[in-house]
Amino acid sequence: MQVGIFDLTPKKQKRGKKTKKSKKKLLSFLAISGIFIYFLCSITNYFSSVIVSTCYAKVQSATMSAVNNAVIEVMSQSVSYSDLMMVEKDSNGDIAMFETNSVLVNRLARETAKKTQQNLQKNNVLYVSMPIGQLTGIAFFSNIGPDFNIKVTPYESVNCFFMSEFEEAGINQTRHKIFLNVIADMRVILPGVDKTISTCTEVLVCESLLVGKVPQIYLSNEKIGQN
């Protein structure tokens, strides 16, 4: 069969083939782009988790130091158990009532939160150094490669509250502890990474050994004041 020099294929058929090829190319491009974005997000999330877990201990240490200094400064004048709590007993010598000095408790919590925030902002920026090999999450490579700095900045959130805790200390004896809890949020900032690490530091403020039966209603641990 002899083929002429003119292409007699209908134009509609040609256009249909070109359209199908374009659609296939577009679908292939979208599929490859989707896979690439998925792996990029997975790697970013993995690196973020490794960075945050590495920073946590160092951030917690820095926060604890800021909290301890704040507590020492705020409570430079020794705070006793009787300053925070008033205990009344009945005629049998059993505990009849607890009363919290809410004015003092809330003032101490507020001042401690303020001082902690100021201590965290003194350095303004905290840099945590880690080897680049640590990003692999493999112990063998954890100390390999140059170090890079992770920027950690104070976040505008420091909250304080007191906790009252009871524990049995013997027959008709109960130990009552009062803790100050300071919750501070710190931000880890890197290109593509912006995570907040929340730390809670607990400081024992005072305790007392109570002699006599304590009503069950008082034995639950609870907040007794906050900033």
Sequence ranges of the domains in the chain: 13-123+150-226
Cβ atoms of residues 207 and 67 within 8 Å:
no
Query: What's the rounded Cα separation, in Å, for the pair 11 and 205?
Result: 89
CA atoms of 111 and 135, how far apart (whole Å): 39
Task: Give the tens place of pLDDT for each residue, 82-138.
Answer: 888 888 888 887 788 888 888 888 888 888 888 888 888 776 666 777 777 776 666
pTM: 0.63
**Does residue 23 carry a pLDDT above 80?**
no
DSSP 55: H
Region 65-77: mean pLDDT is 83
pLDDT for 124 equals 63
Q: Report how far apart the first and last C-alpha atoms of the chain are (Å, whole number).
A: 96
**CA-to-CA dists, residue 119 to 71, 171, 177, angstroms:** 11, 44, 26
> Residue range 172-198: average pLDDT?
79
